[in-house]
Structure 1
Amino acid sequence: MTEASSALAETVRDEGRRVLATLIRTTGSVTLAEDAVQEAVVEALEHWPVEGTPDNPRAWLTTVARRKAVDMIRRDAHRTDKEAAAMDLTGPAPDLPESVVRDDLLRLVFTCCHPSLSHASQTTLSLNTLCGLRVADCARLMLTTEAAMARRLGRIKHKIAVAGIPYRIPSDAELPERLDAVGSTVYLMFTAGIAGEAVRAELCDEAIRLGRLLVDLMPDESSLQGLLALMLLTDARRTTRTDVSGDLVLLADQDRTQWDGALVAEGLGLVETALTRSRHRAGRFELQAAIAAAHASAASSADTDWADIVRLYDALLLVEPTDVVRLNRGVALGERDGPAAGLAAIDDLDGLGRFHLWHACRAELLVRLGRHDEARTAFDSAIACSPPAADLRHLERRIAAIR
């Protein structure tokens, strides 16, 4: 790959989301903005190797994408010349409407989280369009197939077009009703950064950046403090999640002396503040952050207060009664009360059949119970779910170990 091509790939990866966010804001159309940015990338691939990488690649991509959008609008037979002129994007970018949200990407996440769409549709659209996640990544996060996710995205965009849902930056008064979906989007973006074949630091860093902006935006909102704390406490373990060969290292086996102490301290402080401000009505992010804090506070895996973690999962189930939460509670129960109790708690979670971690957790509990044949079958089922490469290698090592 040439130097210019490498620079382009880096620019698209690091700045592409903001370029797209700017185009959506100025055109009012996700499809038009996506097509324009794609054409700008193609033009860059043609010109940069010959003319050299521009001093400001992001500005170059933004300018060219805006010009491409104008050309597309003018080629659209359904638009009059007057309409095309009204959307002329070749001049300076229009002034932003007054809003407490000043970051372009965060503005567009709020925009995509339109109350006319379901919560799942809001987060899916934001993750795919603005956060740059591939359909396969979105499908893995939503525990569905890639084909089903592609169909869902198609239906969402069709509904937006048919219903005329505007891509308009919401007013300050409209922000609170969109906050839950925005928080979900940011956290799923972070999760995508740590759940793939390797840690995607740019996604983790961008999610944390957005989390900090949200806390600055609404400093009294305990759920946002919980969200940021959860990401910080998880990110503190970034370098210990895999070994030098890129193989998965489970939480119990991680070197806690290598966790980022500054992130842990900041996260623990945020958890304390969030739980105090929630006044015993903690939401899902505060409770998940409290669970992460219980792990981060333990000097070793053996010192983990599993009774406290089970109690926190019990509270979390009241506000988020999902099978994933039930699975995590079952694992904690297995640590507190033994593998038989844990297995009984997760055995009937049939809705997680496509989730490799459900099969893997069952397998580990079966190993502890000495039921090795059943454990091998469960490990095989986990592998059949096409897990990320690091998880796959771990599962294969576990199968080999119990043989």
Structure 2
Amino acid sequence: MTTWAAAHALASSEPRPRPARLVPLCAAGGLVTAAEVRAVLPVPAFDSAAMDGYAVAGPGPWAVTGRRLAGSAAGCSLAGGTAVEIATGALLPAGCDAVLPYEDCERHGDTVSAPPPARDHIRRAGEDVRPGDPLLPGGRALTAVAVAALAQAGVGEVLAHPAPALTTLVTGDEVVHRDAPGPLGPGQVRDAFSGVIAALAARAGAAPPAHRHVRDDPGALAAAIGAAGGDVVAVTGASSRGAADHLRAVLDWLGARWLVDGVACRPGHPQGLAALPDGRWVVSLPGNPFAGLVAALTLLEPLLARLAGRPAAPARTAPVHGEAKPFPAGTRIVPVALAGGRAVVVPGARPAGLRAAAAADALAVLDATWRSGGDGLLLALP
């Protein structure tokens, strides 16, 4: 079996990011830049008022000759001894020496007076950003704030990696859709995991996944994998070597190349990563929900993040305290609660249950030599 660290590293580095393309800025939120982005327009775009008050020229007192609000494009100029009432962000009149805030002024009729200003309260064109200035480097996620900054600087489109597309295939005759009405029948279980996959996909920068249920039949599974569009197929269940576990044989029949076929960890060891001849990726996730969660954090999330062009997140470790049985042949992964810079093992974790994980903040990756108080790598939960 592949070690946990090697499996995680393969998923984080083996795929190439999706080919970059020009994307309209309005559709680029959440994508990752493929090249440096530079400003098109200056910020501010023109000389403007930094305060509500009066734009004045020359020494006072000043005769108020009009009003200028933000958005007004009408040109005007000030002669010495005159002023216009002005709003924050409004285009500055030609000849203006300063903007006097309301609170510093006294107005009587059409005359305003104020002591000499300590500041001019003028925003000069380009004082924050000039055309051609670098705004974002390549490899940076386009957050809402980043998109706003680009829009402010006149950027209309960016070269970015498109979001990878994911199809989730939930296998098992016993699995019922989580929203299905009514009580479960004998031997049935609800799909408790596809929502977790969707959350991990969103965090990794992937598009909302398609979702299908596939019965325990090798032909049906092969057809579903063949029909799945996009970049990645995540298969929950069918990953071990039982009578209903057909994924390994189906992928071999489809000519897949295995990069990871089992991981030396508990839980989640029957997980895998394979590349199909047409360039799509298949991630095999155990059907037990907690084991599947471990596998999704080990292989699926880093694979999607890599395809989205996202840089690898910095490793985060913390001292892990509590009781957990080390796995002598590999890695033990446990849910932990975080407090005061340390992690505490949440007891009661089992491969088939999510109760302990629901009470945790992260999963801790513990090597075979771990003892209480030793460091563990932390995987944030979605």
Under TM normalisation by the shorter chain, which class is it?
under 0.3
| TM-score (normalised: structure 1) | 0.21
**Greater fraction strand:** 2
**Greater fraction helix:** 1
RCO higher in structure (CA 8 A, sep ≥6):
2
| TM-score (normalised: structure 2) | 0.22
